[in-house]
Amino acid sequence: MGTSLLELACSLDLEGKYPLLAAFVNHKIKELNYKIYTPAKVEFFDITNPAGFRVYQRSMIFIMQAVVSKLYPQQRFHARHAIGDSIYCEVEGKTEFSTKECQALYDAAREIAEQDIPITREKLPTEEVVKIFAERGFDDKIDLLQTRQRLYSSVERLGDEVGYFFGQYKRLRDEFTGVLTGKGRSFGGSLIRPEATGFGAVYYTVEMLKSFGEDIKGKTFAVSGFGNVAWGTALKVTELGGKVVTISGPDGYVYDEDGINTPEKIDYMLEMRASCRDKVQDYADKFGVPFFAGKKPWEVKVDVAMPCATQNEVRMEDAKNIVANGTKFYVEVSNMPTTLDAVEYLKENGVIIAPSKAVNAGGVAVSGLEMSQNAMHYSWTAEEVDQKLQQIMKGIYEASYNAAKEYGMEGDLIAGANISGFLKVADAMLAQGAV
């Protein structure tokens, strides 16, 4: 299967003043996700190495390309030439930038950088790469490719340019099977895909509450983040009779005692996300609710805690707050939001934990539903997709709960998710001849 350079670096515990950026593998620069399958000479480097500085510069160029595409979709971005340690860049049609515009560029770049979006590389026939660059007006890159006379060339991307990918896939394969999800509605996408992770998490929570003799109606929820996942969560919790009282950002959290439960409030979450300011204080300023700078929402007394933001956002101190507040249910919506010691502390103190590996399956589920629609050359209504998602999440919960019960760990949803997942894979392997 090979070993990635990042895995190798971690195993060697290579810590320095600056993070590793890439490595020389047999004297050729390779990114950290590059996998080694045979013995090789590897030399890692950081930004202090000239090669590392070039890697960093190239990454920043990708970010600026994405920023300009977002803020100035009608203009093209060009990285021209080096000026000392800097790169001279141009935005077509822009001869100067106001202070406000510069701040918007900076804020948008920070947002993209903090999202940690991977830069991916794909090898395509050179003629295809030329067409990609032509569409984007990268004439200088086309000139370079034409001088190299290679059959295949690499194209790198920051983020998910799914429209292009799917269009090219259809053209090259001459088929419409929908192997790429998250597409626009005009070319095979599904309704409620942006809301799906949050919706699915709430449906899982509903089933969890039922099995413990509880009801979502009247329950209070602490939610972190204010992006798509938190937005979808707040929308569905409100629809089903619960009340979300917190959202958070890098700057702190807000507490809305009345609930984030009106169309104006919920829609404003989308507006905040689109602003690129990445400040949840904007919500507090608009609706006149308390804002707690530099703090997390887990200090608020609620019935259900639902982290929807980042990995490892809930640590031991947060877990102690959750327990002290008497919060009974802890639902992981984002990927691995809880440190291991915090998980153990919550379990030891009787908090019922719903693990992210089961809870946040809603996004993947609706991607599967999108592929099904493509295969049938059909498009379901939002209500139909939502109903199917609800049934999927109910099935996921029941499988987890029943597996834990069968193996003597009733109520342990973490163990149940692990067991049910293993059994599903094992059964499939045995059915296909694995021994």
Q: Are residues 21 and 59 in the same domain?
A: yes
Q: Are residues 254 and 211 in the same domain?
A: yes
Higher pLDDT, 255 or 63: 255
**Nearest-CA neighbor of 232 among 368, 393, 421, 378?**
393
Number of domains the chain is built from? 3
Sheet-wide strand order for 352-354: 291-293, 252-255, 243-249, 220-223, 304-306, 329-331, 352-354
Higher pLDDT, 128 or 309: 309
pLDDT band at 133 (very low <50, low <70, confident <90, very high): low
**Nearest-CA neighbor of 305 among 253, 265, 266, 264?**
253
Q: Are residues 284 and 139 in the same domain?
A: no
Q: Are residues 267 and 409 in the same domain?
A: yes
Final residue belonging to a domain, choices 166, 187, 208 = 187
Mean pLDDT of 86-96: 78
Burial group, residue 354, by CB count within 10 angstroms (0-12, 13-18, 19+)? buried
Higher pLDDT, 389 or 64: 389
Q: Are 266 and 231 in contact (CB under 8 A)?
A: yes
Mean pLDDT of 74-94: 73
Q: Are residues 43 and 148 in the same domain?
A: no
Burial group, residue 398, by CB count within 10 angstroms (0-12, 13-18, 19+)? middle
Pairing of strands 42-45, 22-25: antiparallel
Q: Are residues 284 and 339 in the same domain?
A: yes
CA angle (157, 278, 317) in 5-degree steps: 105
Final residue belonging to a domain, choices 172, 187, 202 = 187
Q: Are residues 105 and 142 in the same domain?
A: no
Q: Are 121 and 31 in contact (CB under 8 A)?
A: yes
Mean pLDDT of 188-211: 93
Q: Are residues 280 and 396 in the same domain?
A: yes
Model confidence at 74: pLDDT above 80: no
The per-residue pLDDT for range 304-337, each reduced to its tens digit, is 999 999 989 999 999 999 999 999 999 999 989 9
Domain limits for position 167:
119-187
The per-residue pLDDT for range 342-378, each reduced to its tens digit, is 999 999 999 999 999 999 999 989 989 988 888 888 8
Higher pLDDT, 177 or 61: 61
The CATH number of whichever domain residue 378 belongs to comes to: 3.40.50.720
Mean pLDDT of 199-213: 97
pLDDT for 412: 95
pLDDT for 357: 94
Higher pLDDT, 47 or 187: 47
The helix (H) or strand (E) run that includes residue 150 is none
pLDDT band at 162 (very low <50, low <70, confident <90, very high): very low
The per-residue pLDDT for range 378-388, each reduced to its tens digit, is 889 999 999 99
Model confidence at 84: pLDDT above 50: yes
Q: Are residues 212 and 257 in the same domain?
A: yes
User: What is the spatial distance between Cα 331 and Cα 244, in angstroms, rounded to a whole number?
Assistant: 13
Final residue belonging to a domain, choices 158, 187, 216 = 187
Query: Which pTM was predicted?
Result: 0.64
pLDDT for 164: 45
User: What is the spatial distance between Cα 254 and Cα 291, in angstroms, rounded to a whole number?
Assistant: 4
Lowest-pLDDT range, 93-107, 194-208, 287-301? 93-107
Q: Are residues 86 and 201 in the same domain?
A: no
pLDDT band at 241 (very low <50, low <70, confident <90, very high): very high
pLDDT band at 158 (very low <50, low <70, confident <90, very high): low
Model confidence at 426: pLDDT above 80: yes
Q: Are residues 287 and 421 in the same domain?
A: yes
Model confidence at 45: pLDDT above 90: no
User: What is the spatial distance between Cα 145 and Cα 142, in angstroms, rounded to a whole number?
Assistant: 5
Q: Are residues 164 and 196 in the same domain?
A: no
Model confidence at 216: pLDDT above 90: yes
Model confidence at 397: pLDDT above 90: yes
Model confidence at 235: pLDDT above 90: yes
pLDDT for 178: 55
